[in-house]
Structure 1
Amino acid sequence: MSHTEPSPTTARAGRALPQAAAALVVVLVLLVIVRLPWAGDLGIHAATIQRLSHNLLHPGDPLVDADTPSPYYSPWMLVLGCLAKLTGLSVFVVLRIAAFVGLGLLVTGVWRYVRTLSAHRAAPALALLSLLLLWGPVLFNWSGFLGLNSLALTVSYPSVFALGLAFHFWAWLTRALREPEPAAWATWSALGLLWALVLLCHQFTGVVSSLGALAMVIAARPTRAVLLRLGAALALGMLLLGLWPYYDFFSLFSAGANLEAIHKPLYEQLAGHFGFVLLGVAALVLRFRRDRWDPLVLFFALGALMFAAGGLSGHYSWGRALPAALVPAQLAAALEAVTAGRRAWARTGWACVLGVALAAGAWTQAGTLGYVIPKSALPAAVADKYDTPWVGYHWMTPWVKYGDVVMARTSPARQIPAYGAYTVAPGYPDFFLPDEAKRDAAVVRYFDAGTSAAERRGILREYKVQWVVGSRSLAGPGLRKVTTGPDHQVLYRVVR
């Protein structure tokens, strides 16, 4: 046996270790799904299922009582809405089912795509670990970004479902491009429909999916016959995007101005949030030296260019394309551990460096354990990393019914619609709502200490408000206290 190759026992251990670690991480996320910690956008996705389960054809705005379209009404949410309507299951049970499906798609999608890049048995497990742990020393959570803690909080979101589909799409596309003879027209038609489905389910992930597909096509340098099939697939996908009845997909291109402010944090603390990914960038340099047409290198370049263009031009919403740079770098870091050079010492050395980076990333995200283990049972150093999920507004449901309108500030407005009620102003940017600015101003005026009782009553009448959630200081004529919730919040009934 050559001294440059590991013994069979060492090789088996090298495969088993990342596979066991990846399995443990998947089990952790499965346990998190049972808990379904509430933070971020969970409220709007629950509200979307609520509206669809009550009216599949004309659900209206998911957050406020208005007859407007919404990009949240995607094919996947339509399926979940039908499930809720047919079974009578709670939206939170439906969201758990969505989380199981999304996680399954993600894990199998990563496995299938990585198999197109490496035949090594440990490669898919290492890739999954890198996607979840190779981030930075500062915790970062955002939907569409696959850090372990971020995934734990967003696993039921459409973004995870869409990203899982994207990995399957890339795997299928790669195999189709490698066929010695052009794949059947039916295959390319299905690929076009799958591409459009990803875009409809989560638009930002759709952009990442598109950049990845473009990189794979460029790397394959397809023949004219394949290009014709690609064109047909693209046309069919565009047709589906144009025919989707729940919202005008192409109108989203003019909505970026409303999203720039909330996406500016994507361009802050880059080293802290993504510093460990530099190991993947180094791996991409090595891949580029071996193959100037490497698809991961091209994928990274396209994603990095779009991200940089967004920062330079002030289009901060373009920062949502950053996974198009992160994913190929993270995959490259994992693949280098099983393909670096022809010498065992090179692979072993890279694997050791990757292991240290993954361990550091795991420590940054160790607070994820708090979603399945009581905080009191965690070591103090880990407990300090745990963020308590939102409590929710289930305490209101004995009184507030489906379709009631609630006056509430932004934070409660991000959760209350999950239980079926509407709020006066949406808790999230809603560019299909024409009077969004007016509604936001009305909420600010209502809770302003200098606003008169008469003006407050006028605002309540204008928006047909039945309930108010606020502090004790709101008590007065026209409001009757009903109950008290967490953090000294008070639910008031509006008395006409």
Structure 2
Amino acid sequence: MSTTAPAPARTENRHYARVVRGATAVFGGRRSLRPSPYLVYGTLFWVLVSAAAWRVPICCDFGQHAAVVERLKTDLLDPAHPTSALPGDGSAYYSPYAVVQGAFAQLTGLAGWQVVKLSGAVNLVVLLTGLNRAVKTLTTRAWAPVLALVLMVLLWGTRMAWWSGYLGLMSLTGHLPFPSTFGIGLAFWAWALTARLARSGGSPRAYAGLGALCGLVLLVHPISAVAALIGVLAFVVGGRRDWHARVVGCWALAGAVAILVALVWPYYSVFSLVGDQSVDGIHEQLYSEMEARFWLALIGLPALWLRWQRNRRDPLALMFAAEVLVIAYGWFSGHYTYGRILGLTLVPLQFALAVELAEPRPWPASRRFLAQAAAVGTALGFLVHGGAVVPRSVDPIGFDQPPRWPQYAWAARRIAPGEVVLTDGYRPSRSLPGYGPNLVAPAWPDASLPEPERARRQDAVHRYLAEDSTPAERAAIVREYDVRWLLLSPDQNAPREAVVVAWGPETGEVLARVPGDPSPGKSSPARGKSSPSGA
């Protein structure tokens, strides 16, 4: 009996050793459970930026994404057009990411704008963990992910670049709750998994998982997926040396699964977006002032060059070169939407610099120069982006702050969900649908509504609000589009048949009710005879 007694103890010891090794791997230590630098500073960054994003007022594209959640909350399986009383079949906004948001809104009863706000903290977790895994495929240095995070959010340019999918601190804070941030976080995870499979291989299930992840990125944010897939290919080419039948078959499996995931998604066809030029005009401005918006990131170019000199198949160098070619194609072809990958094009520069600076000392003169340039660049970057996390009340130097659009909850409280509003205001047409109302004319192109029809609706709005419009013309537009409300700027005249209901507390904009069968009459000033205090 005594000879068999120690066996459970040996099993217990082996189990304890596995637990210790697992905990040590998670927290980054070797001989203790001391947390890694990235866990400490990444957590602090998550708390700070999540709080900063929450305080950014609803603006820009936020209302569009909140409207998507509202429509899915109303009908998860067959949502209407995001911003108009039309069918939503084929709208690329109905991605897996948005459907999960809609299901969460149904389950909790939260409003669309609340769900979008809450999504910011979740997106940041995906982004930060993905960054950590991606950088760890490039180096084992514990401080490299911390440096990569700092450089990624600050090393941009001396003019703010504000766009969804741009990872500068100011833009990231404003667009944190959007699908682009979630998609980029998944892209980082895809790069990390690709690097591991390219280096050491894996089971067919792992390759299929990579394919499913790439397909998900493609559905969540198609334009970011262009850069994400370039990165995947770069890590494959840079990491795989031997190509035999099994390896080729596994990578083919990954590609097939990615295509299959995209094909079976029932809400829209991502491949129908190829060649779509409806939003190219909007994105042309991405190519303006590029030097001022991005030049600080070029500090990482020497580090990328050194990597390429050491390895002509370095994945970061390959990724950067390919993405530059895509951006150039967007410019010369007029498909300016490809400029949206500019934000991810800087990532190879920033990551390469972080890896180089994470190397142990003593540093050669070239690395010391890079460190000094990076320090100056990040300081200049913070002057541009610091207002994202420094509130105006404690701002010592007057940082630029995120946009502060007027809020439209005052109008939404009076408009029933789904009722149609006629407005030509830039900000209300982008914000108001996020609370549930519909518009006569959507502000953004959408695959579920042909562009000629959207243009016809915009023309109807302009005709209705024209000073020389007749009562008969206005009545016909009201009947055709089932208009129930007008939202007018203070200098626009409300028709006599409209009843002024409320005034915007920040802008003085006017909300007026339109009867279902308006009676003819002449126009009168939008404020009518009553004062705002009597609304």
TM-score for both structures, normalised by structure 1: 0.91
Q: After superposition, what is the alpha-carbon deviation per residue over 1:245-301, rounded to whole angstroms, capped at 9, x for unaligned? A: 00121111132x211111111111111000101111222111111111100000000
Supply the distance in 2 between the matched residues of 1:90 and 1:481 (Cα, whole angstroms): 27
Residue 131 of structure 1: how far off its partner (Å): 0.9
Q: Look up the equivalent residue of 1:398 and give its one-letter code.
A: R
Contact 1:215-1:296 within 8 A present in 2 as well: yes
Residue 434 of structure 2 is aligned with which of 414, 418, 434?
418
Aligned residue in 2 for 1:147: 168
Partners in 1 of 2:220 and 2:321 — Cα distance?
25
Q: For 1:193, give the aligned amino acid.
A: A
- Structure 1 residue 426 displacement after superposition: 0.8
Q: 1:365, 1:19 → 2: CA distance?
A: 23
1:354-365 equivalences in 2 (<5 Å): 354-365=374-385
| Worse overlay, 342-351 or 201-210 | 342-351
Specify the SS of the correspondent of 2:142: coil
Q: Which residue of 2 aligns with 1:3?
A: none
Does structure 1 conserve the Cα–Cα contact (< 8 Å) formed by 2:227 and 2:341?
A: yes
Counterpart Cα distance in 2 of 1:118 and 1:137: 30
Residue 404 of structure 2 is aligned to residue 407 of structure 1: no
Q: Over residues 154-211 of structure 1, what are the superposed CA-to-partner deviations in whole Å (9 max), with x where a residue is unaligned?
A: 10001111111111111011111111xx311100111100000011011111111111
Unpaired segments of 5 or more residues in structure 2?
1-34, 518-535
- Residue correspondence of structure 1 range 164-175 to structure 2 within 5 A: 164-175=185-196
- 1:441 deviation in Å? 1.4
Q: What secondary structure is seen at the aligned counterpart in 1 of 2:507?
A: helix
Report what 2:23 is aligned to: none
CA shift, 1:38, in A, is 1.9
**Letter aligned with residue 162 of structure 1:** G
Which of 205, 210, 215 aligns to 1:196? It is 215
Distance 1:325 1:494 in 2: 49
- Aligned AA for 1:381? G
After superposing on structure 2, the runs of 4+ consecutive aligned residues of structure 1 that deviate more than 6 Å are 15-21
Q: Distance in 2 between matches of 1:203 and 1:449?
A: 42
- Residue pair 1:102, 1:155 contacting (<8 A) in 2 also: yes
Query: Which residue of the partner structure matches residue 51 of structure 2?
Result: 31
Alignment partner for residue 48 of structure 1, among 30, 44, 68?
68
- Give distance in 1, aligned partners of 2:299 and 2:142: 22
Give the deviation of 1:335 after TM superposition: 1.5
CA distance in 2, matches of 1:16, 1:108: 13
Residue aligned with 2:148, SS: helix
| 1:428 pairs with 2:444 | yes
| Aligned-partner SS, 2:140 | coil
How big is each residue's C-alpha offset from its partner over 1:384-411, in whole Å with a ceiling of 9 and x where there is no partner? Answer: x124422221001331011100001143
How far, CA to CA, are the matches of 2:413 and 2:60 in structure 1? 24
CA distance in 1, matches of 2:378, 2:342: 20
CA distance, structure 1, for counterparts of residue 36 and residue 448 of structure 2: 50
The residue number in structure 2 matching 1:450 is 468
Report deviation, 1:339: 3.3
The amino acid across from 2:379 in the alignment is A
Aligned to 2:405: 390
Quote the residue 2:12 is aligned against: none
Higher helix fraction: Structure 1 or Structure 2? 1
Between the aligned residues of both structures, percent identity stands at: 37
| Partners of 1:243 and 1:23 in 2: CA distance | 37
Q: 2:147–2:358: 8 Å Cα contact kept in structure 1?
A: no
Preserved contact between residue 131 and residue 185 of structure 2 (Cα < 8 Å):
yes
After TM superposition, the structure 1 stretch with the greater mean CA deviation from structure 2, 24-33 or 423-432, is 24-33
Larger Rg: 2
Match for 1:209: what amino acid? Answer: A
What displacement does 1:19 show?
A: 8.1
Instruction: Give the equivalent residue in structure 1 for 2:224.
Output: 205
Taking the TM superposition and a 5 Å limit, the aligned residue runs for 1:85-234 are 85-179=106-200, 182-222=201-241, 223-224=243-244, 225-234=246-255
**CA separation in 1, counterparts of 2:370 and 2:498?**
66
Alpha-carbon distance in structure 2 between the residues aligned to 1:340 and 1:356: 21
Match of 1:287 among 302, 307, 326: 307
Structure 1 partner of 2:16:
none
Q: 1:171 to 1:418 in 2, by over 3 A?
A: same
Within 5 Å, which residues of 2 pair with 1:312-331?
Answer: 312-331=332-351
Q: Tell me which amino acid in the other structure corresponds to 1:457.
A: A
In structure 1, the residue corresponding to 2:445 is in which secondary structure? Answer: coil
**Distance in structure 1 (CA, Å) of the matches to 2:149 and 2:61:** 24
TM-score, length-scaled by structure 2: 0.85
SS of 1:292's equivalent in the other structure is coil
> Structure 1, residues 321-340: CA drift from partner, whole Å, max 9, x if none?
22342111111121121239
Residues 87, 362 of structure 1: alpha-carbon distance in 2 compared, 3 angstrom cutoff: same
CA distance in 2, matches of 1:490, 1:191: 52
Change (3 A) 1:387 1:141: same
Q: What is the CA deviation profile of residues 347-405 of structure 1, one whole-angstrom value per residue up to 9, with x for unaligned ones?
A: 444222211111111111122135xx2x24322432xx124422221001331011100
SS in 1 for 2:153: helix
Match of 1:6 in 2: none
Query: Residues 346 and 465 from structure 1, CA distance in 2 versus in 1: closer, same or farther, beyond 3 angstroms?
Result: same
Provide the rounded CA distance (Å) in 1 between the counterparts of 2:387 and 2:468. Answer: 42
Question: How far apart, in 2, do the equivalents of 1:320 and 1:388 lie?
Answer: 20
Q: 2: distance between equivalents of 1:38 and 1:420?
A: 14
Tell me the residue number matched to 1:8: none
Give the direction of change, closer, same or farther, for the CA distance of 1:300–1:341 in structure 2 (3 Å limit): farther
Kindly state the Cα deviation for residue 456 of structure 1 after the two structures are TM-superposed: 2.0
- Greater Cα offset, 132-141 or 63-72: 63-72
Q: Deviations over 1:41-99 (max 9, x none)?
A: 11111001101111011102111110132101010111110011011122233123311
- In 1, distance between residues paired with 2:151 and 2:402? 23
Deviations 1:214-235 (A, max 9, x none): 1111112451322211111111
